[in-house]
Amino acid sequence: MGQALVAAKIRLVYGGGSVGLMGVIADEVLAGEGHVTGVIPQALWDREVGHKNLSDLRIVSTMHERKALMAELSDGFIAMPGGVGTMEEFFEVWTWALLGVHAKPCGILNIAGYFDPLLAFMDQMVSRRFLAREFREMVLIESEPNALLRRLNSYTPAAVAKWLDTRKT
Protein backbone atom coordinates (compact mmCIF):
# COMPACT_ATOMS: atom_id res chain seq x y z
CA MET A 1 0.00 0.00 0.00
CA GLY A 2 2.82 2.41 0.81
CA GLN A 3 4.37 1.96 -2.62
CA ALA A 4 0.98 2.38 -4.30
CA LEU A 5 0.36 5.64 -2.41
CA VAL A 6 3.75 7.00 -3.46
CA ALA A 7 3.26 5.96 -7.11
CA ALA A 8 -0.16 7.69 -7.15
CA LYS A 9 1.30 10.78 -5.42
CA ILE A 10 -1.21 10.42 -2.58
CA ARG A 11 -0.26 11.89 0.77
CA LEU A 12 -0.72 9.57 3.72
CA VAL A 13 -2.65 10.79 6.75
CA TYR A 14 -2.62 8.27 9.58
CA GLY A 15 -2.50 7.85 13.34
CA GLY A 16 1.14 8.82 13.77
CA GLY A 17 2.41 5.53 15.19
CA SER A 18 5.80 3.94 14.66
CA VAL A 19 4.64 0.41 15.50
CA GLY A 20 2.59 -2.22 13.72
CA LEU A 21 1.17 -1.91 10.24
CA MET A 22 0.74 1.85 10.70
CA GLY A 23 4.48 2.26 11.17
CA VAL A 24 5.31 -0.02 8.24
CA ILE A 25 3.08 1.93 5.84
CA ALA A 26 4.48 5.28 7.01
CA ASP A 27 8.05 4.02 6.62
CA GLU A 28 7.30 2.75 3.11
CA VAL A 29 5.77 6.07 2.01
CA LEU A 30 8.70 7.99 3.50
CA ALA A 31 11.22 5.64 1.83
CA GLY A 32 9.54 6.46 -1.49
CA GLU A 33 9.88 10.18 -0.73
CA GLY A 34 6.15 10.56 -0.20
CA HIS A 35 4.47 12.88 2.29
CA VAL A 36 3.22 11.49 5.61
CA THR A 37 1.12 13.36 8.14
CA GLY A 38 0.73 11.70 11.52
CA VAL A 39 -1.87 12.69 14.10
CA ILE A 40 -1.24 11.29 17.56
CA PRO A 41 -2.56 12.05 21.04
CA GLN A 42 -0.03 13.35 23.55
CA ALA A 43 -0.52 10.27 25.78
CA LEU A 44 0.57 7.92 22.98
CA TRP A 45 3.44 10.19 22.04
CA ASP A 46 4.60 10.12 25.65
CA ARG A 47 4.61 6.30 25.56
CA GLU A 48 7.14 6.54 22.71
CA VAL A 49 4.94 4.90 20.11
CA GLY A 50 4.92 8.01 17.89
CA HIS A 51 6.84 8.11 14.62
CA LYS A 52 9.66 10.62 14.89
CA ASN A 53 10.52 11.03 11.19
CA LEU A 54 7.27 12.16 9.57
CA SER A 55 6.82 14.95 7.03
CA ASP A 56 4.20 16.52 9.30
CA LEU A 57 3.41 15.56 12.89
CA ARG A 58 0.35 16.82 14.74
CA ILE A 59 0.15 16.11 18.47
CA VAL A 60 -3.37 16.50 19.85
CA SER A 61 -4.93 16.15 23.29
CA THR A 62 -7.44 13.32 22.80
CA MET A 63 -8.38 10.41 20.58
CA HIS A 64 -11.50 12.35 19.56
CA GLU A 65 -9.35 15.25 18.36
CA ARG A 66 -7.11 12.78 16.55
CA LYS A 67 -9.98 11.24 14.60
CA ALA A 68 -11.58 14.59 13.79
CA LEU A 69 -8.31 16.05 12.49
CA MET A 70 -7.45 12.93 10.50
CA ALA A 71 -10.91 13.05 8.89
CA GLU A 72 -10.52 16.74 8.12
CA LEU A 73 -7.08 16.27 6.52
CA SER A 74 -8.07 13.18 4.51
CA ASP A 75 -9.70 12.89 1.09
CA GLY A 76 -10.73 9.29 1.73
CA PHE A 77 -10.35 6.41 4.16
CA ILE A 78 -8.83 2.94 3.90
CA ALA A 79 -9.07 0.19 6.49
CA MET A 80 -6.32 -2.39 6.39
CA PRO A 81 -6.03 -5.48 8.57
CA GLY A 82 -5.96 -4.35 12.17
CA GLY A 83 -7.65 -4.55 15.52
CA VAL A 84 -10.49 -2.93 17.38
CA GLY A 85 -9.11 0.60 16.89
CA THR A 86 -9.10 0.12 13.13
CA MET A 87 -12.70 -1.10 13.25
CA GLU A 88 -13.86 1.73 15.50
CA GLU A 89 -12.26 4.39 13.29
CA PHE A 90 -13.54 2.83 10.07
CA PHE A 91 -17.10 2.47 11.30
CA GLU A 92 -17.09 6.07 12.49
CA VAL A 93 -16.03 7.54 9.14
CA TRP A 94 -18.42 5.21 7.30
CA THR A 95 -21.25 6.30 9.62
CA TRP A 96 -20.37 9.93 8.93
CA ALA A 97 -20.65 9.18 5.19
CA LEU A 98 -24.05 7.51 5.70
CA LEU A 99 -25.29 10.56 7.60
CA GLY A 100 -23.94 13.00 5.02
CA VAL A 101 -21.32 14.50 7.34
CA HIS A 102 -18.81 13.99 4.51
CA ALA A 103 -18.87 12.61 0.97
CA LYS A 104 -15.44 10.98 1.05
CA PRO A 105 -14.89 7.39 -0.07
CA CYS A 106 -14.42 4.57 2.44
CA GLY A 107 -12.49 1.50 1.36
CA ILE A 108 -11.28 -1.79 2.77
CA LEU A 109 -8.09 -3.48 1.63
CA ASN A 110 -9.12 -7.10 2.11
CA ILE A 111 -5.73 -8.79 2.14
CA ALA A 112 -5.89 -12.60 2.16
CA GLY A 113 -9.62 -12.48 3.03
CA TYR A 114 -8.95 -10.85 6.41
CA PHE A 115 -12.22 -8.91 6.31
CA ASP A 116 -14.40 -11.70 4.84
CA PRO A 117 -16.31 -12.30 8.12
CA LEU A 118 -16.93 -8.57 8.53
CA LEU A 119 -18.16 -8.27 4.94
CA ALA A 120 -20.50 -11.23 5.50
CA PHE A 121 -21.85 -9.48 8.61
CA MET A 122 -22.40 -6.28 6.64
CA ASP A 123 -24.33 -8.32 4.05
CA GLN A 124 -26.41 -9.78 6.87
CA MET A 125 -27.19 -6.25 8.05
CA VAL A 126 -28.61 -5.59 4.58
CA SER A 127 -30.60 -8.82 4.41
CA ARG A 128 -32.13 -8.13 7.84
CA ARG A 129 -32.92 -4.51 6.87
CA PHE A 130 -30.59 -2.78 9.31
CA LEU A 131 -28.57 -1.29 6.45
CA ALA A 132 -29.60 -0.06 3.01
CA ARG A 133 -27.89 -1.91 0.16
CA GLU A 134 -26.70 1.45 -1.21
CA PHE A 135 -24.87 2.12 2.06
CA ARG A 136 -23.26 -1.31 2.01
CA GLU A 137 -22.14 -0.62 -1.54
CA MET A 138 -20.54 2.65 -0.42
CA VAL A 139 -17.73 0.59 1.12
CA LEU A 140 -15.28 -0.13 -1.67
CA ILE A 141 -13.51 -3.46 -1.27
CA GLU A 142 -10.45 -4.70 -3.08
CA SER A 143 -7.65 -7.13 -2.29
CA GLU A 144 -4.98 -5.18 -4.18
CA PRO A 145 -3.83 -1.64 -3.28
CA ASN A 146 -3.77 -0.12 -6.79
CA ALA A 147 -7.26 -1.40 -7.58
CA LEU A 148 -8.59 0.08 -4.34
CA LEU A 149 -6.91 3.44 -4.98
CA ARG A 150 -8.42 3.58 -8.50
CA ARG A 151 -11.90 2.92 -7.09
CA LEU A 152 -11.48 5.49 -4.33
CA ASN A 153 -10.32 8.04 -6.91
CA SER A 154 -13.42 7.53 -9.07
CA TYR A 155 -15.92 7.34 -6.19
CA THR A 156 -19.23 9.17 -6.44
CA PRO A 157 -21.33 9.19 -3.25
CA ALA A 158 -24.77 7.60 -3.35
CA ALA A 159 -27.71 9.97 -3.19
CA VAL A 160 -30.19 7.95 -1.16
CA ALA A 161 -32.43 8.47 1.85
CA LYS A 162 -30.63 7.89 5.12
CA TRP A 163 -33.23 5.59 6.69
CA LEU A 164 -34.59 2.26 5.50
CA ASP A 165 -38.10 2.74 6.80
CA THR A 166 -39.50 6.16 7.63
CA ARG A 167 -43.13 5.07 7.97
CA LYS A 168 -44.75 6.17 11.17
CA THR A 169 -46.49 3.36 12.99
Q: 50-104 pLDDT, tens per residue?
A: 999 999 999 999 999 999 999 999 999 999 999 999 999 999 999 999 998 999 9
* CA 22 to centroid of chain Cα atoms: 12
Give CA–CA dist 132/162, Å, rounded: 8
The overall average pLDDT reported for the chain is 93
Domain boundaries, the chain: 1-74, 75-157
pLDDT category of residue 158 using cuts at 50, 70 and 90? confident
Q: Which helix (H) or strand (E) holds 84?
A: helix 84-98
CATH 3.40.50.450 fits 1-74, yes or no: yes
Q: Which CATH number fits domain 75-157: 3.50.50.60, 3.40.47.10, 3.40.50.450, 3.40.50.300?
A: 3.40.50.450
75-157 and 1-74 share a CATH fold: yes
For 120, counting Cβ atoms within 10 Å of its Cβ (0-12 exposed, 13-18 middle, 19+ buried), the class is exposed
Which residues are bridge partners to 37 per DSSP? 13, 56
Give CA–CA dist 147/115, Å, rounded: 17
Q: Which residues contact 24 (CB under 8 A, 6 or more apart)?
A: 2
The total number of residues written for the chain in this structure? 169
pLDDT category of residue 160 using cuts at 50, 70 and 90? low
pTM exceeds 0.75: yes
Q: Angle formed by the axes of helices 84-98 and 63-73, to 10°? A: 60
